[in-house]
Structure 1
Amino acid sequence: MEREPAKPGTPATNVLERQIAGLDALEMANRSRPGLLRRTWASTWPVLAAVAIAIGAWELVVLSGWKPTYVLPGPAQVFPQLGRDLSESSFWAGLGLTMRRAIIGFALAIIAGVLLGAVVSRVRFLRVAFGSLITGLQTMPSIAWFPLAILLFQLSESAILFVIVLGAAPSIANGLIAGVDYTPPILLRAGKILGLRGLALYRHLILPASLPAFVTGLKQGWAFAWRSLMAGELLVIIGHHTSLGVRLEYARENIDAPDMIAVMIVILFIGIVIDRLFSAADRALRRSRGLDPS
């Protein structure tokens, strides 16, 4: 005989309701998030600790006498120079030029990488023909492109942007391709049943499903773009355009080690800030999909 379900108001039903209520309360407790100040501090203090350790190690190396201070100055020499640089309008103009190049080059790389990744990921013949080539381009050092870029575009902005795009676009394309590869086939079948075809299929199904891997590709692409830009500004010096790379090269030529390291700190700081922005976007994406309860 089949067992009849417990009726409302019976002891068994009351026990079951209390258990469900307890599970709901536990789930809500796990979903509760700490305050903004606590979350900010939790994500900031490890960075501050790492910076303090790095500065301490730097000072110890300087105190060891491994290199003379005019070659390897300590924090006491570099940070005042950094303050002087930040007080100069020419420094901010150079920083603005560098960031403008970075944004334009990265935007062009996103366009090229998305188009390339979207086509290659869905056409089997192109995947076989160009899949390994894209990975090969990704592993190629950006510095190797500059002789060709200078030959094609001379010492110009186009030469720098050319190398930025070639350095970043393959990573972005590979990120999109990886995201498409991990799109569950059942979603593709459901989309086709709903009548999604062509661009509509990409816009409403494939791109949202591949977004986590695509964000990772964007983050890696930015790293390649930033490295390519710094190499370009060291090699392609355009008259009357004093960018961060140009200041770095001038400091090296003038054997001004404090200024050189100060500019390097600024370049490092910008890289860290952009990385934190990408990490925040990744956490927000995972949280929106229920993958990050913190």
Structure 2
Amino acid sequence: MKFRYIDENIISLILGLQILLSICWLPFAILWYGLNESSIIFIIVIGSVFSIAIAVESSIKNINPIYIKAAKTLGAKGRRIYIDVILPASMPGFVAGMKQGWLFAWRALMAGEMLSATTGLGQILIMGRDLSDISQVIVIMLFIIVLGLIVENLILGKIEKNIRNRWE
């Protein structure tokens, strides 16, 4: 189930774009969307989509070949192999990619808000810096950490746990 063209061309491009920090896209986003929330949303999407794509590709590539051979032996062909074998077997890697994508998106949101937003946690952080209020900066940083961990544990952690339980 290899796609040689994707392996040789698209994955290298995606990996190269993932290496580029999402905040580097901010000038482009501001020129394209203006100085508003659309540019921050663009930064968030750019910050997460490539890591998710790499994780999904890696997950599919690392599926145990015995699963595919067994499905073919049982008569599965074409699309059924993807639906019944590859998609379920790649779900743990997909969820791991979603977790990583969430972390990149969260960081991109904070960076985008610090540079171009008029409201938000990133802007409050910058306001604390401008006012030389270290206590405000520390409180906002701790709040960002706590909020990120809550989302990670309550949403993505439960999804990951459910998928692991299905595969045990």
Q: Please indicate the TM-score interval, normalised by the length of the shorter structure.
A: 0.7 to 0.9
Question: Is 1:247–2:124 an aligned residue pair?
Answer: yes
SS in 1 for 2:29: helix
Residues 163-242 of structure 1 correspond to what in structure 2 (within 5 A)?
Answer: 163-192=43-72, 193-198=74-79, 200-238=80-118, 242=119
Q: Given residue 168 of structure 1, which amino acid in structure 2 is its aligned partner? A: S
Q: 2:17 aligns with which of 130, 137, 146?
A: 137
Q: Which runs of 5+ in 2 are unaligned?
A: none
Q: Which runs of 5+ in 1 are unaligned?
A: 1-120
Q: Is the contact between residue 44 and residue 109 of structure 2 (CA under 8 Å) also seen in structure 1?
A: yes
Instruction: Give 1:261's aligned residue.
Output: 138
Instruction: Give 1:274's aligned residue.
Output: 151
Report the Cα offset of residue 148 of structure 1: 0.9
Report the Cα offset of residue 186 of structure 1: 3.0
CA distance in 1 between partners of 2:57 and 2:3 (Å): 11
Q: What is the root-mean-square deviation in Å for CA atoms of aligned residues?
A: 2.0
Report the Cα offset of residue 191 of structure 1: 3.5
Which deviates more from structure 2 when the two are superposed, residues 221-230 or residues 272-281? Answer: 272-281
Question: Is 1:287–2:165 an aligned residue pair?
Answer: yes
CA distance in 1 between partners of 2:148 and 2:123 (Å): 18
Identity of aligned residues (%): 39
Relative to its length, the structure with more helix (as a share) is 2
Q: Is the contact between residue 55 and residue 96 of structure 2 (CA under 8 Å) also seen in structure 1?
A: yes
Compare CA radii of gyration and give the structure with the larger one. 1
State TM-score, norm by structure 1. Answer: 0.52
SS in 1 for 2:63: coil
Report the Cα offset of residue 134 of structure 1: 1.3
Residues 109-128 of structure 1 correspond to what in structure 2 (within 5 A)?
Answer: 122-128=2-8
Q: Is the contact between residue 51 and residue 100 of structure 2 (CA under 8 Å) also seen in structure 1?
A: yes
CA shift digits 1:86-117 (9 cap, x unpaired): xxxxxxxxxxxxxxxxxxxxxxxxxxxxxxxx
Report the Cα offset of residue 145 of structure 1: 0.9
SS in 2 for 1:234: helix
Instruction: Give 2:27's aligned residue.
Output: 147
SS in 2 for 1:210: helix
Report the Cα offset of residue 178 of structure 1: 1.3
SS in 1 for 2:129: helix
Report the Cα offset of residue 226 of structure 1: 0.4
Runs of 4+ with >6 A deviation: none
CA distance in 2 between partners of 1:287 and 1:123 (Å): 30
